[in-house]
Structure 1
Amino acid sequence: MTIAFTICSINYLAQARTLGDSLKSTNPDVKFFIGLVDSLEGIAFENPYTTEFPMIEIDKIEIKDFQEMAERYNITELNTAVKPFYFTYFFRHYPEATEVIYFDPDIIVFQSLEGLINSLQKHSAVVTPHITTPIEDQLTPNELHHLNTGVYNLGFVAFMRSEENNRFIEWWEEKLRYECLIDLCNGLFVDQNWMNFLPVFVPDTLIERNPGYNAAYWNLHERTFSFQNERFMVNGEYQLLFFHYSGYDPAKPEILSKYQDRFELADRTDLTELFGIYRNSLLSKGNAYYRKFPCAYIKPAPVRRYQRVRKFLKKPIQYVIGQLETF
């Protein structure tokens, strides 16, 4: 059995439902779950906004000291910090699962995952690099940004069941328990930089360079899209397996992604249909409705900043060669 899952808070359920629908139509044999970093206690969604996909609330997956993690992180950090813990949960509670695949909620799967599943029968894990060819300008993002934020994009990662992977995931859990921060000055960008170690610690990892995997704003300089024989194609040769709509807001349909300045959506007419499909799905599935729900576990930013400062001040202090250092 193959499990695919995503992680989100209630405010991203329109995206998660869109992903789930795409998997249901293209891969009906894949069991899909939503890992919900939120609480459903006291919440009753209006009829059009209930989801048929099983949601596993974060308090059900047995993360030690989870409340302390929640106090440490903002909503983006927390949603990424729990990723390895969900892998552990699925491998532990679904012994029939031979492979587990993670997709960010802002993804649409367009084709069968058969090729990916076949890869997981030959390789321990599969990741996709942000880019596979050099960038010829200094716009955002470029190679320097990817050095800061990770070689691989963790909107997707897949593992087969193995003891080697269990050890890696356990290590990954402990790193993200405390160091899943957006803190570029200290070499941290949520979970992504830690994944640079995956091909080192798990040598059988497949670095998937097929341009049909994880197409997104960061690799559009090397990919163009077309619709041929009732399927989307990349560079006229590869089937589009999944597109990652990171940074897209259906309320601002003219902006390809808020995280880049290389392309205008109006100039990339090869993307018009792909983004039209996504926008229509988000609007119909209640994007504006879900956005009104605050995450139950996230405190306001000033409170988090205060807690981080207090934690820092509690560290022991000593002078070393005339400089004040903390440990």
Structure 2
Amino acid sequence: MQRDCFFTSIALNYLPKALALASSVFDAYPDSRFVVSLIDHQRLSGAQRDGLARLVEEFRSQGRELSFVDPLSLYKRADLFVYKFNVVEACTSVKPALAAALLETADTVTYLDPDTILYTRFPDEADASWDFQVTPHAVAPSDDRSLISERLFMFYGVFNLGYFAVRKSQQTLDFLNWWKDFCVAYGADAPQAGLFVDQKPVDLLPCFVDRVHVLRHPGCNVAWWNIFCDGRGIEPGGRVSFRGQDWPLVFYHFSNLHHPADASQRKIANPLGLHGDRRGEVSVLLSSYPALAALFQDYESRTQVLAPRCKDIGPIMGSSRPAPPVSVRLLLAEALRRGMTYSGDPAQESPRTVGWRSWRYIVRASSRRDVKTALFSMMAMLRLTLATSLLRFTN
């Protein structure tokens, strides 16, 4: 099976990581093309566009097809989309729309998060039986020695959307369109409301698409959350150990890197600072895992080699507007979903005004029973907040 198109989604500050990923993809799939979705594309200066064009030409001179696209061009009201999301939410919420657009000219579209490196070709070269492929957060339950329980993924999604691949079929396109609309409305980081950017709705994928393949190869999408949940380990030579067997490392997800002032205290991932050692049995320090530390060093060397060329392009100038409170963004999303026509630019109004306008529309468009149900749900959610926070990381 030929994977002919790969893509990732970033803001400009992630450019070195995206280029390191692209280079690793081209090493494994030299005849593919790689597309970088740039959420701040519309804010680029002329000089920055020229810098990106030079990068494209540099890759082309090596026989590698790299391109940059503006994902906001896929939306009728880009201003409303940008208002509703912070930069992480926006970069993730555009993924289904981009996948659908890329399928117009590709047979297979593969997404990888920018903080990922592909070390070898995917282990399904001869498999043509799926239309949609995803990887789970974990491929086995946690045990008494695990720092992270599989219950964590009930909040954030069964599948890790740092990877997915799609093939052209009617069910694939129908799902991508539904997923796009869902993300437009509810692509916020709000696990307490059953939402987590683009990831949580894909729990429903096997319900909507017949030919779904869950890629359970232990060498795929290895990351801090499964190393400390299902027991995978990185071994010397770029191998993965899992339940007494040895597997090739296909791709590692370098998510939430930790860079403390004291390098000896560096953890495998920043969120693991919430845990520390558990009863002295399990260390979360990178120095305790020499093979993994070597992998991290290689990753940082890859990005540092590319950093000078990206530095010449520079950051986006001007301060970014902080995202409004998630409650306001979800109110606006629900009002828009119910048919509200929002005139003007909400960024020019206070969050309180946007929230009030949205709430007023929802109340007017809802029955009394709907309003009572919503209020009851809000009160129940508040009561559950403390219990939720206590359960997230415990066995």
Query: Which TM-score band (shorter chain)?
Result: 0.7 to 0.9
Provide closer, same or farther for how the CA distance between residues 243 and 295 of structure 1 changes in structure 2, counting only shifts above 3 A. farther
Among 9, 12, 16, which residue is 2:18 paired with?
16
Q: 1:167 & 1:160 partners in 2: Cα distance?
A: 12
1:234 correspondence with 2:240: yes
Distance in 1, Cα, partners of 2:126 & 2:320: 39
Amino acid at match of 1:311: V
The separation in 1 between residues aligned to 2:79 and 2:320, in whole angstroms, is: 10
| More contact order relative to length (CA 8 Å, sep ≥ 6) | 1
- The separation in 2 between residues aligned to 1:169 and 1:176, in whole angstroms, is 10
1:280 aligned partner: 301
Task: Write the distance in 2 (CA, Å) between the matches of 1:205 and 1:78.
Answer: 26
Other-structure match for 1:56 = 69
User: Counterparts of 2:47 and 2:147 in 1: how far apart (Å)?
Assistant: 41
The 3-state SS of whatever aligns with 1:213 is coil
What is the aligned counterpart of 2:91 among 64, 67, 79? 79
Shift of 1:48: 11
Q: CA separation in 1, counterparts of 2:12 and 2:371?
A: 50
Number of aligned positions between the proteins: 318
Moved more, 219-228 or 179-188: 219-228
Partner Cα distance (2:90, 2:4) in 1: 25
Is residue 227 of structure 2 the alignment partner of residue 210 of structure 1?
A: no
Distance 1:245 1:291 in 2: 24
Q: What are the ranges of 5 or more consecutive residues in structure 2 without an aligned counterpart? A: 57-65, 277-283, 329-348, 378-395
Query: How many angstroms apart in 2 are the aligned matches of 1:208 and 1:289?
Result: 36
User: In 1, Cα distance between the equivalents of 2:225 and 2:267?
Assistant: 14
1:44 to 32, 44, 47: 47
Q: Which range moved further: 294-303 or 275-284?
A: 294-303
Distance 2:253 2:313 in 1: 20
Residue 310 of structure 1 is matched in structure 2 by 353
Name the SS of the counterpart of 1:191 in structure 2: coil
Distance (whole Å) between structure 1 residues aligned to residue 270 and residue 239 of structure 2: 25
Superposition RMSD on alpha carbons, in Å? 3.2
Secondary structure of 1:218's partner? helix
- For 1:280, what is the secondary structure of its paired residue? helix
- Return the alpha-carbon distance in structure 2 between the equivalents of residues 101 and 270 of structure 1: 28
Equivalence map 1:52-201=2 (5 Å): 52=56, 53-60=66-73, 62-92=74-104, 94=105, 97-113=106-122, 115-119=123-127, 121-137=128-144, 141-201=148-208
**Separation (CA, whole Å) in 2 of partners of 1:255 and 1:49:** 37
Unaligned runs of 5+ in 1: none
Work out the CA distance in 1 between the residues paired with 2:240 and 2:216: 12
Shift of 1:4: 0.6
How far 1:281 moved relative to its partner?
1.8
Q: 1:163 to 1:324 in 2, by over 3 A?
A: closer
Q: 2:269 aligns with which of 236, 257, 263?
A: 257
Which one of 6, 9, 23 corresponds to residue 7 of structure 1?
Answer: 9
